[in-house]
Amino acid sequence: MLRRTVLRRVEFFSTLVPNAVVTAPAFLTEPELSAAKAAIQERQAIFRGIDLAAPFEVLTNVDSMPKRNKAQKDFEHLVDELRGVMYKPSCVDPSHRLQLHEAIMAAGFYARSINTNELHGESIRFVVNHFNFDVRRDTLITKKVHESLLEEVTTTKESEELLSQLLQLERHLSGHYRFHPTGGRRWFTLGLALSELGTEAEVDRVLNLPIVKEHGNFAKSEVTDKDPLWKTVVVTPQKESFTTFLESAGLDKGVRADDLAYNLRVEKPAKPLEYWERVREMLLRYWVIWFSLWAMFFMVDEEIITLVALIVLKHRQTKILEEEAERTGGKVYIACASGPGQRGI
């Protein structure tokens, strides 16, 4: 499970919901509740006055129906309050919006876990559906992720914080099954489709980002078959040491083995040429250039000769006419494109 380290803050959702499968009356243990309250306290400014910690207080012992009903209403009301914060025009920070989504998923999870009238697994389905629909449609988050990974080429402190939270959240939800198609597309991470990684250089650049190395848990391998010109680059999310939400809900049963990895077919780098092969290539290149010039000259030489001959003959004929006109005292008339013209001698 993803937990706090000395150098970074805890992953928010996995701290609020450390277990995908919970049972009454203790939905959280005392240490888990303390960790959740500490994580909420670190982010209190994001929630803009909402007391997020209060509904979690009772989760260590929900042993009666009145407690269940009150806790359920408190969490449902909390979901509405958090959605209200997200709809405000001033809520534009992608990292803050992602953490608000995580709080909504946690509150919705416990509201359905506490409710005895809900179907089995409904709490897990709420979390998965909220991520696949609400979070994926949050363009402020997806645009920032896309810019950080594909357009800006580098990352900033703010984008690294967002990517860190997002990668850890996706590992907690889907783990090894992150490349399973969603909405008809396969995603490297939220906001970056696998189809956009079209070259081995792009794959290497994204996988070698420090934040992806630390939190992505991806593995890259190569499959070299008998084809002398092509190879297959395989990127795979590795298995996690904990049970993910997708596995807890049994949603991994229909995942095909082909969807667990991304296969990119790329051309093998050309082998360096030997000395005499390089000489031959150079001579061939110069021969092609010389032949092209020679062929071009002999294709146009007849037209050039004809045009020059016409100009010379016209000039000579004009001179003869001018000389004849000078002897006889006449005039020479020369036709032009704009109309009749004359030149006196």
Taking only the tens place, the pLDDT of each residue in 209-232 is 999 999 999 999 988 777 788 889
pLDDT given at position 329: 77
On the question of pLDDT at 49 being above 50, the answer is: yes
On the question of pLDDT at 273 being above 60, the answer is: yes
Q: Which residue has the higher pLDDT, 114 or 306?
A: 114
On the question of pLDDT at 6 being above 70, the answer is: no
pLDDT given at position 337: 58
Rounded mean pLDDT of the chain?
86
pLDDT band at 195 (very low <50, low <70, confident <90, very high): very high
pLDDT (tens digit, 9 = 90+) per residue, 240-258? Answer: 988 888 888 777 887 888 8
On the question of pLDDT at 345 being above 70, the answer is: no
pLDDT given at position 129: 92
Mean pLDDT of 23-38: 92
On the question of pLDDT at 2 being above 60, the answer is: no
Mean pLDDT of 281-307: 80
- Ordered by start, the domain boundaries in the chain are 10-267
On the question of pLDDT at 178 being above 90, the answer is: yes
Q: In what order do the strands lie in the sheet with 218-223?
A: 218-223, 230-237, 262-267
> Lowest-pLDDT range, 139-143, 187-191, 285-289, 302-306?
302-306
pTM for the whole thing? 0.74
